[in-house]
Amino acid sequence: MNDSTNIRIAGLPCWQGKVDIEPLSGGMTNLNFKVTDGASQYVVRFGEDDPIHLISRRNEIASSQAAFDIGVSPELVHHEEGILVVRFIDGKVFDESDVRIDHNLERIVELLKRFHHELPKRFNEVAVMFWVFQVLRHYQNLLAQGESSHAARLPELANISAGLEAAVGPVDIVFGHNDLLPANFIDDGDKIWLIDFDYAGFNSPLFDLSNLASNNELSDAQERTMLEQYFGNPPDHAKLGSYHAMKCASLLRETMWSMVSELYSRVEMDFADYTQKNLARFETVYAEYKNNYH
């Protein structure tokens, strides 16, 4: 943390006393800090609009406020250009193994159902649509223009994406989180909280469900249980086909997000390694999809 960052955090008008500041790890599009001002603890997030990854901080603020209003996310106590301050949740930040615990997964699905259907009633901003296939087209264009080292694969990946979009078929629309990495869930011992709304927007529920599964390597049995819990009925073959097509798209999006980040991100992270890990996951899941549903 440099002196200018420290000074800017200390000068925010929301503190009730002298502040103690410490950096938090884990952010892939933001810089995060834990701040204590005597009686209370907060998280300060630095992040500007990011047209490369289609992130609007105005949308993030509105999503965060609405998520707090429905009781699924901590309070946003202050925001100004480039900075959000939310209350710190003292709890267990999940990793993949935590999400795979059946009891936790059941609680997460109920949390998502509430988020999907209740948040739009409190969302007071221009509606943003997060359609993964349009995001993939955007990334394909950026990678071609940026002369990415992955450029040779772009025509193949574009054809795969188009096939997956057709296979998903008609969808319902809810308000999605769209970035269900395990660290975006915090268990305080009483409830699970959902955080970080960089990519929040209207979408098919299949995206959040498949994103949850792919990011946390759920088993086949857990995926079927998750779908039955969410929709109220065991999924038929058509629903499973649509879901697994979206799961492939979710993994392809994470892969291409990382490919683009290799070119443009200023965050210190080994994006080349992250690309290869997600590409391997995508290729495995896509091969399974073609064998079973294509």
For residue 269, what pLDDT is reported? 87
pLDDT tens digits along 111-166:
999 999 999 999 999 999 999 999 999 999 999 999 899 999 999 999 999 999 99
pLDDT > 70 fraction of the chain, expressed in percent and rounded: 98
Strands 20-24 and 31-36: antiparallel
Beta-bridge partners for 55:
50
Q: Which residue has the higher pLDDT, 130 or 25?
A: 130
Q: Return d(Cα 183, Cα 26) in angstroms, integer.
A: 8
Dist CA 195 CA 110 (whole Å): 16
| Dihedral sign from CA coordinates of 220, 221, 222, 223 | positive
Res 38 pLDDT > 60: yes
Q: How confident is the model at residue 1 (pLDDT cuts 50, 70, 90)?
A: low
Within a 10 A sphere around the Cβ of 184, how many other Cβ atoms? 19
Q: What is the H or E stretch that residue 45 is in?
A: strand 41-46
Q: Comparing 14-18, 60-64, 252-256, which segment has the lowest mean pLDDT?
A: 14-18
Q: What pLDDT, in 10s, does the model give residues 186-224?
A: 999 999 999 999 999 999 999 999 999 999 999 999 999
- pLDDT, tens digit, 9 for 90 and up, residues 236-292: 999 999 999 999 999 999 999 999 999 998 887 899 999 999 999 999 999 999 999
Is the pLDDT confidence value at 28 over 90? no
Q: Residue 208: which residues within 8 A CB-CB, separation 6 or more? A: 112, 116, 176, 177, 178, 180
Q: What is the mean pLDDT of residues 77-83?
A: 95
Looking at residue 27, what is its pLDDT?
Answer: 65
Query: Which pLDDT belongs to residue 219?
Result: 96
- pLDDT at residue 2 above 70? no
CATH 3.90.1200.10 fits 92-293, yes or no: yes
Q: How far apart are CA 155 and CA 81, in angstroms?
A: 38
Segment among 22-26, 90-94, 249-253 with least mean pLDDT: 22-26
Mean pLDDT confidence for 56-61: 96
State the pTM of this model.
Answer: 0.94
**Sequence-distant (≥ 6) Cβ neighbours of residue 79 within 8 angstroms:** 61, 85
